[in-house]
Structure 1
Amino acid sequence: MSEFRSKHNREERSSDKGLFNSLHSRKSVAPVIRSTEPLSKLALFIRFLKPVTWIPVMWSFLCGAVSSGFFGWHDITGIKFLLGMLLTGPLASGTCQMLNDYFDRDLDEINEPNRPIPGGAISLQNATILIALWSVLSVITGYLIHPLIGFYVVIGIINAHLYSANPIKLKKRLWAGNSIVAISYLIIPWIAGEIAYNPNLTLTSLQPSLIVAALFTLSSTGTMTINDFKSIEGDRQVGIRTLPVVFGETRAALIAAILINLGQLLAALYMLLVGQNGYALVVALLVIPQFFLQFSLVRSPSTMDVRYNAIAQNFLVAGMLVCAFAIKAAKP
């Protein structure tokens, strides 16, 4: 009987030890389990490029083209505009998104484990090859539109590194991260649109676009803050100091709302100063629906962030295009 108990105790200890090891060991098959659905190579690549992030950059290029005064709707089918959309969409924006995923792979393990790199669908080697190829194609396409735009693309790619890559990693540094993204998403493509279509470009003629793009960049900094609510838990764990992490969700939402409204209202004021009163009124009116949506955002930032951006952003980008037409109308 004593011998049986001894054997039974050894088996229990062995079972407990096995259970302990299984609970504390790293699951080597985790990347495979994370994949929720099989994707073709093309679908996986498109997901890596994050198409939803292209739209603001493409829109900014359009606004810059309109504000140049030399762009007409017939130009939409022209090769220059098509190259501009290709550049600001899948190429340059796609490159920056791939870079962000590459450098944020540890953070995505917490926030978005099904992303291609942390999920194991794209290896680091393949990601590096894709990023290098896409970077070269982006610079070449920018150069084909205008040599200066090729230089702008290089600046945008450098900004993407500054935002995501250690040791600088500006996304850890509160205002700096959202600001550099807003500049890359708005000022750079807006001015690129001006450069692409204005044959008589001078610093004086570019000044209205620079001012309006900078003011909408202030608003865009606020919308970037709203994007931070979805990753607040992972940001806390790895020490990334976003506004929601530092100030809390409610205060961060309030700050974001103030920035969003302030940039647009200042743009409307600038329209008044250049004598475009009708356009100024339209821009100001477009702030009103955003203002009412912000009440729900401030009350529950973590549940209203996606819905707010999906609805309110439409009014903000409409205001951008209205300002572009105003700048065009104000040109001599």
Structure 2
Amino acid sequence: MFRSQPLEKAALIIRFLKPVTWIPVMWSFLCGAVASGAFGWQDLTGSRFILGMLLTGPLASGTCQMLNDYFDRDLDEINEPDRPIPGGSISLRSATWLIAIWSLLSVAAGWLIHPLIGLYVIIGIVNAHLYSANPIKLKKRLWAGNIIVAVSYLIIPWMAGHIAYHGTLTITALAPSLIVAGLFTLSSTGTMTINDFKSMEGDRLAGIRTLPVVFGERKAAGIAAVLINLGQLLAALYMFWIGEPMFSALTLLLIIPQLILQFPLVKNPTGFDVRYNAIAQNFLVAGMLVCALAIKAAKP
């Protein structure tokens, strides 16, 4: 049972689903749709797009966030004791039911858009288990945790957006989206590392081998900056290679403010991590859309 008054239940569930984490996944779906070449801005009000936003936001992303809270409740008692489960607002039984219902709704919504997207949703939910659940718990294994989260945040929703609007499932049709999504996944692996700074204390006590724990704050911040820049630089080069030099140049320009912000980040990772993500992420996601538009422009 929920340990709260009836009027608080909806707000508590929304908090459990962590809406702030939905945005990157929803954006990746949008970029994939744009890159398909079959998506127009008039489709923003279409039922397929609305269902895609529900899927990548409150449904699939919400399911994965609830799973993470469920399996990380021991860590959250140290790092974030006010979260719903460690704080006692939601019981484990209620959390289990919510996760089961949301998982079924997510797979059903994905299947309604395209059967292959339903499969992608299942893969994303499996990834969330692999990331958080013992005995595998990939978040303990240095690079593996950040990589699997980045794949779930970028490649899976980007390809879902592409497939939702482009019926041709061939290597030729899908390759540009897959390459660009993969390169931005490299950058996203760096941003995931920056997210690890806030939970260093609990991770160290629990034996979670994140980059900040293993390499120290400043070295981990430097590694994250290299990954963030490298993925975008390679994406810019790919835009040039497919014959879109203007989009390539714009992608490069969007890296510059991120590079400037990385200097104070490396100097003071735990004091600048939240500010860095709040500002720099805007330029990174803008680069994603620029590359999606370039892929669309390059289509014959």
TM exceeding 0.5: yes
By relative contact order (CA 8 Å, sep 6+), the higher-ranking structure is 2
What is the alpha-carbon distance in structure 1 between the residues aligned to residue 166 and residue 99 of structure 2? 31
| Residue 226 (str. 1) matches residue 212 (str. 2) | no
CA shift digits 1:55-95 (9 cap, x unpaired): 00000000000000000000000000000000000000000
Q: How does 1:79-94 map to 2 (within 5 A)?
A: 79-94=47-62
Hey, what does 1:266 align to over in structure 2? 234
Structure 2 portions without partners, runs of 5+:
none
1:175 pairs with one of 107, 128, 143: 143
Whole-angstrom distance in 1 between the partners of 2:242 and 2:7? 52
Distance in 1 between residues matched to 2:50 and 2:62, nearest whole Å: 16
Equivalent residue for 1:255, pick from 212, 223, 241:
223
Q: Structure 1 residue 201: deviation in Å? A: 3.0
Write the distance in 1 (CA, Å) between the matches of 2:139 and 2:180.
25
d(CA) in 1 for partners of 2:180, 2:114: 22
Matched, 1:286 2:254: yes
1:76 counterpart = 2:44:
yes
Distance 1:103 1:323 in 2: 36
Aligned residue for 2:289?
321
Query: What's the offset of the Cα at 1:203?
Result: 1.4
Deviation above 3 Å: which 4+ runs of structure 1?
none
2:80 aligned to which of 112, 134, 139:
112
Taking the aligned partners of 2:8 and 2:222, their CA distance within structure 1 comes to 42
Which of 160, 174, 185 matches 1:192?
Answer: 160
Structure-2 residue corresponding to 1:8: none
Partner of 1:128: 96
* Structure showing greater Rg: 1
Partners of 1:302 and 1:120 lie apart in 2 by 28
Deviations 1:273-318 (A, max 9, x none): 1110000000000000000000010011001000000000000000
2: distance between equivalents of 1:181 and 1:258? 18
Q: Using the alignment, how far apart are the partners of 1:303 and 1:39 within structure 2?
A: 37
TM-score using structure 1 length: 0.88
Q: Distance in 1 between matches of 2:62 and 2:154?
A: 15
User: For 1:239, which of 184, 207, 216 is the aligned residue?
Assistant: 207
What is the aligned partner in structure 1 of residue 105 from structure 2? 137
Cα-to-partner distance string for 1:75-134 (whole Å, 9 max, x where unaligned): 000000000000000000000000000000000000000000000000000000000000
Aligned-pair CA distance for 1:40:
1.1
Instruction: Look up the match of 1:214.
Output: 182
SS in 1 for 2:280: helix
1:331 & 1:68 partners in 2: Cα distance? 9
Q: Find the aligned partners of 2:208 and 2:181 in 1 and give their Cα distance.
A: 28
5+ unaligned residues in a row in structure 1: which ranges?
A: 1-31
Which whole-Å CA distance do the structure 1 matches of 2:294 and 2:126 have between them? 32
Say which of 96, 107, 129 aligns to 2:64: 96
* Residues in 1 aligned to 2:145 and 2:266: alpha-carbon distance in whole angstroms: 22
AA matched with 1:84: G
**Partner amino acid, structure 1, of 2:246:** G
Counterpart Cα distance in 1 of 2:169 and 2:81: 46
Match of 1:303 among 247, 260, 271: 271
Identity %: 78
Superimposed CA distance per residue, residues 162-193 of structure 1 (whole angstroms, 9 cap, x where no aligned partner):
00000000000000000000000000000000
| Aligned pairs for 1:47-86 within 5 A | 47-86=15-54
Distance 1:200 1:306 in 2: 41
* Structure 1 CA distance for aligned equivalents of residues 50 and 113 of structure 2: 10
- 2:187 & 2:76 partners in 1: Cα distance? 26
C-alpha deviation, 1:39, in angstroms? 7.8
Structure 1 partner of 2:127? 159
CA distance in 2 between partners of 1:53 and 1:159 (Å): 16
Between the aligned partners of 1:217 and 1:331, the Cα distance in structure 2 is: 23
State the distance in 1 between where 2:200 and 2:132 align: 16
